[in-house]
Structure 1
Amino acid sequence: MISQEEFTVIHTLKAQGYSIRAIARMTGLDRRTVSRRLKQSERKPYAKREYPSKLDRFKPYIQKRLEEALPKRIPSTEILEEIVLRGYDGKLRILQEYMGKWYTEHGFGKAEDPIVRFETKPGYQAQVDWTVIRGGKSPIYAFVMLLSYSRAPFVYFTDNMRQDTWQRCHEKAFVYFGGVPQTILYDNLKSVVIKRDKYGKGKHGFNDAFLDFSKGWFEPRLCRPYRAQTKGKVERFNRYLKENFYIPLKASLKGSGVTITPDLLNLHVFGWIARTNERVHATTLARPTDRLQEERKYLRPYRPEVSAPVKLESFTTNRSIPAIMIDYQTRLQEYEAIVPRRIDHAS
């Protein structure tokens, strides 16, 4: 497309008596372009061509899913999985461009991520947190433990944050991973610490029940005050869990009459984790599944010396289970035979 200035020059030179060949030579334009533009009394821009997109037939479905989740957002990777199952064979970039435009039109800007993450050696650190999934009279909390090296997560949903529940969730995570990391990083949870620097700088007053639980297994460590970003890996995963697991599941159950409970979420989450572990992590540039196999070599074996059995909820879904999940299931069955208590949901 030629500019308005070039269009004016072409007509000026023609009025001065120059031939089309001479005008083309003087302006560096093709003779056909010069000839075509001389036939126009004013510059007309080329009509923008609209090409069909592979995404077109999926846009009504995508729009419905995004509207169902508002004011929350469903990540493009989750929508991609859903439309691939419905026949989409295009690229993620096309979907991201469409969703970005859709969110902009609906007043949603790009969320900032201020979290800075630090890399650790395999088996050295895990980061643990409670995150609120649903508040109100029937709350749901997620216990999350993330191995810092592999980025492999463990998630368990409960309706309380009692100390016994807290400890049981740790035990389930250790069995799930096949061992215990050297250190675990926390923020100022009452389940962990009663008073920071109680006995001097860096000498904290830990919760006695939790300190007794941790002895001989791992070293609990605290983030700096008001610096939850220190455990940014688990903080970021908490958001990922809500956006990629909970919000899409909640949206898909909307209007179904199905009540979302901790048991329902636990029924689905481990299949979802198995799938997310197969994706290449943006920071490590490796699959958590692969790095976990390496990290497990450095975890301390976890074998609590107890005898009475306990019923443990299923860690499977109706989807196909990858081989690595079968290995987890075997260890969890062993756990049933050695751990005496279970986490009971409050009525």
Structure 2
Amino acid sequence: MYQYRNVLVRMRQGDSDRDIARSKTMGRKKLAQVREIASERGWLAPEFPLPDDGVLSTLFERREALPVSCISTLEPWRDQITKWHAAGIQGTTIHATLVRNHGFTGSYSSMYRFLGQLVSLQQPDVPLRLTFKPGEAVQVDFGAGPLITDVYTGEIFKTWFFVMTLCWSRHQYAEFVRDQTVATWLGCHRRAFESFSGVPSRVIIDNAKCAITKACVYEPDVQRAYAECAEGYAFKIDPCPPRDPQKKGIVEAGVKYIKGSFLPLREFRDLDDANRQLQAWVMNEAGNRIHGTTREAPLKRFAEVEKSLLNALPSVPPELASWAKVKVHRDAHVQYETNHYSVPFRLIGCDLWLKATGTMVTLYREHEAVASHVRLTGKGLRDTVTDHMPPEAQAWQMQDTQWCLKSALQIGPACHAMVHAMFGDHVLIKMRAVQGVLRLKQKYGAARLEAACQRANHYGTPGYKVVKIILEKGLDQLAPLAAFDALATTYTQGGRFCRDTQTILQ
């Protein structure tokens, strides 16, 4: 319509059709038609105003010729083609299927036009840009970091970087970590809040296992440890729907910004050095750049407006603990991060809740604490509380070498000499044999056991089997052996072949 109006103005000024056509605005044939219509309606007279665009469009708008047939040859299969197209099947495949199974004789061009019509009839997916108030929300995500070679130890390890971005100011906190465990997730939150000197009202996250145990659009299950962290810092968790990262596009852009602007062409001596460089970059280059969306420096917006609107940090920081459901093994221990911790033996086979802080591990049966341990820092370690074991196991653990010697001395000097000789074996550890000898006291009494040990020592055959046969056959009740007392004294004072000078001279 602008061209028609321009042509009418030049005609009113007295320009000929040849002059107007020479400017390549419109052909002479079309100009003749426009001049004829304008003359009939008096538009060429200077005293009359030009018509508006609506009137011009009714007279000069191009009318498209209707096709001979508006009905596609694929119309009989519209419903089926619509289902296949919605399922993501290619147009060439749909066309080949119709030719092969339904006798369709048309070309693929008709299929191409038909699919174009289907696309045009669909309602466009228009995203809604989310807006946030100062201090209202942050978005959190992990990004894949570089492989770092520790120059001091030579260790090569994979890293990730944690990013928390304030939605209004775009100021962010970033940190390199070595894993994505619950403890790391919670620790990064604490350090981020302390960096901001405040807590936002809402934390928008994806469905990472360290935060969400079951992803769901409507009712996701939150990790118990993360729920306690949210209660302690007084913020609410807002998980994105599964497979919909656009809901946290602000932090997604922050992750890409770190990957594109910070990571390339940098070298790190170790993890601490990487974090020092990252923090300096965030507070200088990244924080003072003009952001592409807000058109202001994120650090300036944060310092001047958003920082004062964040919720205050709690006076006492909440305890950050990881929770895990564990099962008690048959040895009365549970496993957590490759280490084992004992619980009372009566709970074997039960499912317990394990709460792990930085220093302690506590086990709960429902709401009752049943065991506490100092957290082990190594791998493959075992912490066993003696009282957690059954009485038999406690007795076995207590019956060490010193206990056996003490118990034998209470029975008598001959028994003590025999136990001492059995422990002096150069080949076998005769702990079970010694315990078996001492256990014969329960059946035969201390006096008979002492007499049996005297007889076994006299013949130079100290051992469990010999003492047992002596007691079973009653040989300990025979007449005392000659020079028995001197022999027993010899065993008691130092050994089988050790005698003083007086004994040798006799």
Evaluate the alpha carbon distance shift between residue 268 and residue 346 of structure 1 in structure 2; reply closer, same or farther with a 3 A threshold: farther
Pick aligned residue for 1:124 from 125, 131, 136: 136
Judged with a 3 Å threshold, the aligned counterparts in structure 2 of structure 1 residues 187 and 302 are, in CA distance, closer, same or farther, namely: same
CA contact (8 A) 1:159 1:346 kept: no
- Correspondent of 2:296 among 273, 286, 293: 286
Of the three residues 270, 282, 298, the one matched with 2:279 is 270
Structure number with greater Rg is 2
Q: Distance in 2 between matches of 1:304 and 1:268?
A: 30
Q: CA RMSD in A?
A: 3.0
TM-aligned CA distance change 1:307 to 1:189, over 3 Å: closer
- Which residue does the alignment assign to 1:219? 236
| 2:240 corresponds to 1:228 | no
In structure 2, give the amino acid aligned to 1:168. Answer: G
Map of 2:306 onto structure 1: 295
Find out whether 1:208 has 2:217 as its counterpart: no
Q: Name the CA distance, whole Å, in 2 between partners of 1:177 and 1:346.
A: 34
Distance 1:179 1:306 in 2: 12
The CA deviation string for residues 49-71 of structure 1, in whole angstroms up to 9 with x for no partner, is: xxxxxxxxxxxxxxxxxxxxxxx
Q: 1:261 aligns with which of 270, 276, 283?
A: 270
Aligned-residue offset at 1:130: 1.2
Distance 1:209 1:247, change over 3 A: same
Quote how far apart the aligned CAs of 1:291 are: 1.1
Q: Say if 1:287 and 1:299 are closer, same or farther in 2 by CA, change over 3 A.
A: same
Tell me what 2:41 maps to: none
**SS of structure 1 residue aligned to 2:176:** strand
What's the CA shift for 1:173?
A: 0.3
Distance 1:306-1:296 versus aligned 2 partners, 3 A rule? closer
Structure 1: distance between partners of 2:130 and 2:301: 16
For 1:248 and 1:240, how far apart are their aligned partners in 2? 14
CA shift, 1:162, in A, is 1.4
Contact 1:183 1:219 in 2 (8 A): yes
Query: Any gaps of 5 or more consecutive residues in structure 2?
Result: 1-126, 149-155, 320-356, 360-376, 380-506
SS at match of 2:262: helix
Distance 1:306 1:222, change over 3 A: closer
* 1:87-137 deviation digits (Å, cap 9, x = unpaired): xxxxxxxxxxxxxxxxxxxxxxxxxxxx98532100011000111113696
Letter in 2 for 1:146: T
Distance 1:218 1:306, change over 3 A: closer
Among 143, 166, 174, the residue aligned to 2:193: 174
In structure 1, C-alpha distance between the alignment counterparts of 2:203 and 2:241, rounded to whole Å: 14
Q: Tell me if the contact between 1:117 and 1:233 (Cα under 8 Å) persists in the aligned partners.
A: no
Q: 1:242 aligns with which of 237, 259, 267?
A: 259
Matched, 1:148 2:167: yes
2 CA distance for matches of 1:152 and 1:117? 19
User: Alignment partner for residue 188 of structure 1, among 207, 213, 227?
Assistant: 207
Q: Equivalents in 2 of 1:186, 1:204: separation in Å?
A: 12
Partner SS for 2:263: helix
Pairing of 1:328-339 with structure 2 (within 5 A): none
1:235 alignment partner AA: E
Unaligned runs of 5+ in 1: 1-114, 254-258, 309-339
TM-score if structure 1 supplies the norm length? 0.50
Mapping of residues 58-77 of structure 1, within 5 Å:
none
2-structure distance, mates of 1:219, 1:183? 5
1:248 positional shift: 2.8
Contact 1:123–1:296 (8 Å) recurs in 2: yes
CA distance in 2, matches of 1:341, 1:174: 19
CA distance in 2, matches of 1:209, 1:129: 18
- Distance in 2 (CA, whole Å) between partners of 1:129 and 1:296 is 21
Amino acid aligned to 2:161? A
Task: From the superposition, tell whether residues 172 and 288 of structure 1 become closer, same or farther in structure 2 (CA, over 3 Å).
Answer: same
Q: What's the offset of the Cα at 1:164?
A: 1.1
User: Secondary structure at 2:145's aligned position in 1?
Assistant: strand
CA contact (8 A) 2:229 2:318 kept: no
Larger relative CO (CA 8 A, sep 6+): 1 or 2? 1
Kindly provide the amino acid, as one letter, of the partner of residue 229 in structure 2: F
Aligned residue-pair number = 190
Q: Give the Cα separation in 2 of the matches to 1:144 and 1:229.
A: 16
Whether the aligned pair in 2 keeps the contact of 1:150 and 1:291 (CA below 8 Å) is yes
Question: 1: CA distance between counterparts of 2:128 and 2:270?
Answer: 33
> Deviation of residue 262 (structure 1)?
2.1
Q: Distance in 2 between matches of 1:130 and 1:271?
A: 19
**TM-score where L is the length of structure 2:** 0.35
SS state at 2:265 partner = helix
Structure 1 position 213, deviation (Å): 1.1
* Secondary structure in structure 2 of the residue aligned to 1:248: coil
CA drift of 1:270 comes to 1.4
Shift of 1:307: 11
